[in-house]
Amino acid sequence: MTKARAALTELEGAILGVLRRAPETTAYAVRKVFAESWSAEWSGSAGAVYPAIQRLARGGLIRVKRTGDRRGGQTCSPTVLGARLHDDWLCDVARAAGPGMDPFRTRAALWSFLPKSRRKHLMATLARETRSLRDEIRLGLAQRSAPDALTDTMVLALLDERLRWLGQAR
Amino acid sequence: MTKARAALTELEGAILGVLRRAPETTAYAVRKVFAESWSAEWSGSAGAVYPAIQRLARGGLIRVKRTGDRRGGQTCSPTVLGARLHDDWLCDVARAAGPGMDPFRTRAALWSFLPKSRRKHLMATLARETRSLRDEIRLGLAQRSAPDALTDTMVLALLDERLRWLGQAR
DNA sequence: GTGCCCATGTAATCTGTTACATGATTAG
DNA sequence: CTAATCATGTAACAGATTACATGGGCAC
């Protein structure tokens, strides 16, 4: 390695995480994992995932292996180097300990600018949407693998907190 | 306006929020608000804030007024149009109801890959950092304006949740 | 006068989104 | 046969970060 690699981005770290949990995975399958995640922040768009995987491959963090099929499928697996750098990414306390970015929290302090009727309507809609999302996650929880269930549980805690704040938990 | 403006980005919405709460504010002061926020996600970098403010001004969402001083200072205030579009941004349920992006949550399911000793050390460090951040926010809470206090309270709830989780993880 | 904060901005670079293009396989 | 899904990618564009450049005002 002539040039020290910059630290992994969030997306690269998340991709490596998927690959560590399920090696021999195609880029397409990685995309689906993101697309099915509850957070809209990572859409798993092709223009993000494929270049990121190319970067990881060029840096020697993952190994790409062609599957025999005619579709040109190729599976990715983390290398030893990839796992080591991913460990460092996991231990990046400065990033892991930050509060992150929450669109609800960003807006909450500003909803007071809305006319009262519109605000009331919004609060009701938000509560409805939040309960709906919460119930959907709860229902799926049983079928989830342990790590996914952990993540889902943390999302549920967040949604419950929002509902408490909205004042209509139920 | 011949061309319908695309929806406000998160940064543009946040900037307009700052300007609604404190009109006649300089771009520099807006940057400081972001830089002092707890979330590392928006650093309030010059290369993000100044172009965003130029976009808002070009779109007629804010009005820019030169202050008399020699420093070239110019204050921004939302226009009526800006306030209306900001209201719409505030009411974007699809975005406000999403769980957002939480670096702690992203990593939590992957910490099991770490060697036990490193994991234990990380958990301890995370707990220490989280308690430290929590205490810092708690201390500042008294001096905060009502909207800031609301946001801070939501961050505190998130940190408490993480501490609860870290306490059980072991 | 030196260094720091106020205050503005730009340029290079990187990353992500949207939309498109290609082709194989499978379900109806 | 047709439509959906699997599977790969690229191109145009928008947005953010870092680093730099400029200059006024103020404190020591």
Residue B9's φ and ψ, nearest 5 degrees, are: -75, 170
Q: What is the mean pLDDT of chain B?
A: 93
User: pLDDT for B107-120, tens place per residue?
Assistant: 999 999 999 999 99
With cut-offs at 50, 70 and 90, classify the pLDDT of residue A90. Answer: very high
Whether A20 sits inside 8 A of B93 (CB atoms) is no
Amino acid at A130: T
Q: Nearest by CB to B103, from A10, A21, A113: name it.
A: A10
Q: Name the residue among B42, B129, B159 with its Cβ closest to that of A93.
A: B129
Torsion sign, CA atoms A131, A136, A142, A147 = negative
Report residue A87 as tokens.
Answer: 């460990």
Task: For B2, list phi and psi in degrees, rounded to 5.
Answer: -75, -35
The per-residue pLDDT for A69 is: 82
For B168, which DSSP code?
A: H
What digits encode the pLDDT tens for the residues B79-102? 999 999 999 999 999 999 999 999
Which residue in B has a C-alpha nearest to residue A108's C-alpha? B151
Question: Considering only CA atoms, which residue is closest to the C1' of nucleotide D25?
Answer: B71
Q: What is the C-alpha separation between A75 and A66, in angstroms, rounded?
A: 6
As a whole number of angstroms, the distance between CA A19 and CA A26 comes to 9
A52 CB closer than 7 A to any strand C atom: yes
Residue B77: both structure tokens together: 């205030």
Look at residue B3 and tell me whether its pLDDT is greater than 60: no
Condensed to tens digits (0 to 9), the pLDDT of residues A28-82 reads 999 999 999 888 888 899 999 999 999 999 999 999 999 878 788 899 999 999 9
Cβ A69 to strand C below 7 Å = yes
Asked if residue B61 has pLDDT above 70, the reply is: yes
Residue A27 has a pLDDT of 97
Which amino acid makes up residue B42? W
Determine the Cα–Cα distance for residues B81 and A94; give it in Å rounded to an integer.
39
A77 touches strand D (CB under 7 A): no
**Residue B154 and residue A102: Cβ atoms within 8 Å?**
yes
In terms of CA atoms, which chain B residue is nearest residue A22? B110
Average pLDDT over residues B13-30: 96
Chain A residues 92-151 within 7 Å (CB) of strand C? none
| Cβ–Cβ gap B158/A155 under 8 Å | no
Asked if A95 CB < 7 A from strand D, the reply is no
CB atoms within 10 A of CB B167: 10
Asked if the model's pLDDT at residue A1 lies above 50, the reply is no
Task: Give the CB-side neighbour count of residue A158, counting CA atoms within 13 A.
Answer: 30
B54: closest CA among B7, B81, B6, B46? B46
Sequence-distant (6+) residues with CB within 8 A of A64 are: A53, A57, A74, A75, A76
Beta strand A74-78 with B25-26 is unpaired
Contact: A154, B106; criterion CB under 8 Å: no
What pLDDT digit, counting tens, does each position of A100-140 carry? 999 999 999 999 999 999 999 999 999 999 999 999 999 99
Query: CB–CB of A123/A169 below 8 Å?
Result: no
What is residue B168's predicted lDDT score, i.e. its pLDDT?
Answer: 64
Contact B56, B12 (CB under 8 A): yes
B128-151 exposure pattern, b = at least 16 Cβ within 10 A, e = fewer: ebbeebbeebeeeeeeeeebbbbb
**Percentage above 70 pLDDT, chain A:** 95
